[in-house]
C-alpha cells in the first residue's frame, strides 16, 4: 500500500491519483491564498477607513484601471488553468487504454458481483493485477448504485438496463475499499467490498483456481446457436438477413435515419432487447423482439461473445 493519505485525501493507489490530487491541491492553495487575502483586506480596510465622526465624509474615489484589469485577468487565467487541467484529467478518466483487462461488474441489492473473462466469479472482493490497466464494464440488476474506490479516485454510477464503465491501473499491491455511493435501499451503507491488488503471478494463480462457471464469451457462443441468432447473423462476414457480427464491436455503424454510432456495449444490448431502436442501413427491420426477456447474465455473455468476433 502506498501512502496513508492526508487530512483531505485518502491514500493514493492508482495511476490516476497523482494528477487529480495535484489539481485538488492547486485549487485548494489558490482558495486558501484568496481567502486569507480577502479576509485580511476586509479587516484592515474596516479599521483604517471606518467613519470616525458624524462629519466624516470620504473623498470621491475613481477607479484604478490597473487594479480592475488585474482582478479581471488574473482570475480568468486561474479559471482557464483549472478548466484545462480538469478537462485533461476528465478525458484520461474516460479513456481506458485499448489493452485494458476487462472484468464484468454486476451490482445488486446489496452486493457487488464480478465475472472474469475465463468464467471465474467473485463477490465483494475484486481481485486485480498490479501495474495493469483494468476496465470494469458495469451494470445493475435492480436499482441505481455507484461504484467508488476512493484510493483510485474513480467513481461511476451503475445503472440498470445499461452499461457504464471505469478504468484504473493499480500501482501497489494491497487492499482498497469499495463503497456504494448511491442510496440504494436499507442496506446501502453495507454494500461494501475490497479491491485486492496482487502481483501478476498471484493474480493468474487466483484466476485459474476453482472456475465453476462457463466463460461469458463461451456462454454467449452457446446462446448464439441455441437462440438461433446464427440464422440471421453470421460470424464469418457472410451477409445474411441481418448484419454480420464479425468486426461489429467498435465499428462505426450507419442507421436508416442517417445517424451513426460506434458499436459499444450499450449499442449491442439495445439492439438485442429493443431491436427496432436503431436499424442498420441496408438491412430490413426484421429482428424479432422476443429477446427482451434476456437477463443480465445472458446479455453480458452475448456482449462478450460479440466482442470476440474480430
- Looking at beta carbons only, is 81 or 144 nearer to ligand CUA? 144
Contact between 155 and ligand CUA per CB under 6 A: no
3-state secondary structure labels for all residues of the chain: CCCCCCCCCCCCCECCHHHHHHHHHHHHHHHHHHHHHHHHHHHHHHHHCCCCCCCCCCCCCCCCHHHHHHHHHHHHHHHHHHHHHHHHHHHHHCCCCCCCEEEEEEEECCEEEEECCCCCEEECEEEEECCCEEEEEEEECCCCEEEEEHHHCEEEEECECCCEEEEEEECCCEEEEEEECCCCCCCHHHCCEEEEEECHHHHHHHHHCCCCCCCHHHHHHHHHHHCCHHHCCCCCCCCCCCCCCCCCCCCEEEECCCCEEECCHHHHHHHHHCCCCCCECCCCCCCCCHHHHCCHHHHHHHHHHHHHCC
- Looking at beta carbons only, is 184 or 245 nearer to ligand CUA? 184
Of 191, 196, 215, 223, the one binding ligand CUA by CB under 6 A: 191
Show contacts with ligand CUA in window 244-263 (CB under 6 A). none
Shortest distance, position 183 Cβ to ligand CUA, whole Å: 6
- Looking at beta carbons only, is 26 or 110 nearer to ligand CUA? 110
What is the Cα–Cα distance from 151 to 16, expressed in whole angstroms?
10
Of 162, 177, 188, 251, the one binding ligand CUA by CB under 6 A: 188
Show contacts with ligand CUA in window 69-108 (CB under 6 A). 107
What is the Cα–Cα distance from 59 to 228, expressed in whole angstroms?
89
Shortest distance, position 128 Cβ to ligand CUA, whole Å: 20
- Looking at beta carbons only, is 137 or 223 nearer to ligand CUA? 137
| Omega of the bond leading into 110 within 30 degrees of 0 (cis) | yes
Contact between 180 and ligand CUA per CB under 6 A: yes
Shortest distance, position 161 Cβ to ligand CUA, whole Å: 16
Stretch in the footprint of ligand CUA (CB under 6 A) among 75-83, 159-167, 184-192, 259-267: 184-192
Stretch in the footprint of ligand CUA (CB under 6 A) among 119-127, 183-191, 225-233, 296-304: 183-191
Show contacts with ligand CUA in window 120-149 (CB under 6 A). 145
Stretch in the footprint of ligand CUA (CB under 6 A) among 74-82, 128-136, 179-187, 196-204: 179-187
Shortest distance, position 155 Cβ to ligand CUA, whole Å: 12
Of 137, 184, 229, 287, the one binding ligand CUA by CB under 6 A: 184
- Looking at beta carbons only, is 89 or 122 nearer to ligand CUA? 122
Which letter, b or e, does each residue of 29-60 get, where b requires 16 or more Cβ atoms within 10 Å of its Cβ? eeeeeeeeeeeeeeeeeeeeeeeeeeeeeeee
Of 11, 113, 182, 265, the one binding ligand CUA by CB under 6 A: 182
- Looking at beta carbons only, is 34 or 192 nearer to ligand CUA? 192
- Looking at beta carbons only, is 150 or 243 nearer to ligand CUA? 150
Binding site for ligand CUA (CB under 6 A): 107, 110, 145, 180, 182-184, 188, 191
Amino acid at each position: 500500500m502506498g501512502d496513508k493519505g492526508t487530512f483531505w485525501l485518502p491514500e493514493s493507489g492508482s495511476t490516476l491519483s497523482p494528477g487529480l490530487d495535484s489539481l485538488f491541491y492547486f485549487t485548494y492553495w489558490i482558495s486558501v491564498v484568496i481567502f486569507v487575502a480577502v479576509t485580511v483586506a476586509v479587516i484592515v480596510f474596516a479599521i483604517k477607513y471606518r467613519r470616525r465622526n458624524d462629519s466624516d465624509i470620504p473623498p470621491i474615489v475613481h477607479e484604478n484601471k490597473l487594479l480592475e484589469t488585474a482582478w479581471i485577468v488574473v482570475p480568468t487565467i486561474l479559471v482557464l488553468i483549472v478548466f484545462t487541467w480538469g478537462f485533461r484529467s476528465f478525458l484520461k478518466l474516460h479513456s481506458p487504454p485499448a489493452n485494458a483487462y476487462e472484468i464484468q461488474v454486476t451490482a445488486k441489492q446489496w452486493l457487488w458481483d464480478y465475472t472474469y473473462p475465463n468464467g471465474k466469479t467473485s463477490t465483494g472482493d475484486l481481485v486485480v493485477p498490479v501495474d495493469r490497466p483494468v476496465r470494469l464494464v458495469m451494470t445493475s440488476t435492480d436499482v441505481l448504485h455507484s461504484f467508488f474506490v476512493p484510493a483510485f479516485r474513480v467513481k461511476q454510477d451503475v445503472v440498470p438496463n445499461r452499461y457504464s464503465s471505469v478504468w484504473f491501473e493499480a500501482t501497489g499491491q494491497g487492499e482498497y475499499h469499495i463503497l456504494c455511493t448511491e442510496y440504494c435501499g436499507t442496506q446501502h451503507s453495507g454494500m461494501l467490498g475490497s479491491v485486492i491488488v496482487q502481483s501478476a503471478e498471484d493474480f493468474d494463480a487466483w484466476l485459474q483456481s476453482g472456475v465453476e462457471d462457463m466463460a461469458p464469451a463461451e456462454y454467449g457462443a452457446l446462446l448464439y446457436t441455441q437462440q438461433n441468432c446464427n440464422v440471421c447473423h453470421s460470424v464469418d462476414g457472410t451477409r445474411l438477413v441481418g448484419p454480420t457480427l464479425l468486426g461489429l464491436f467498435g465499428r462505426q455503424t450507419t442507421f436508416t435515419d442517417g445517424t451513426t454510432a460506434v458499436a459499444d456495449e450499450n449499442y449491442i444490448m439495445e439492439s438485442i432487447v429493443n431491436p427496432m431502436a436503431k436499424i442498420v442501413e441496408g438491412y430490413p427491420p426484421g429482428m424479432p423482439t422476443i429477446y427482451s426477456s434476456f437477463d443480465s447474465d445472458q446479455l453480458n455473455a452475448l456482449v462478450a461473445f460479440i466482442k470476440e468476433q474480430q
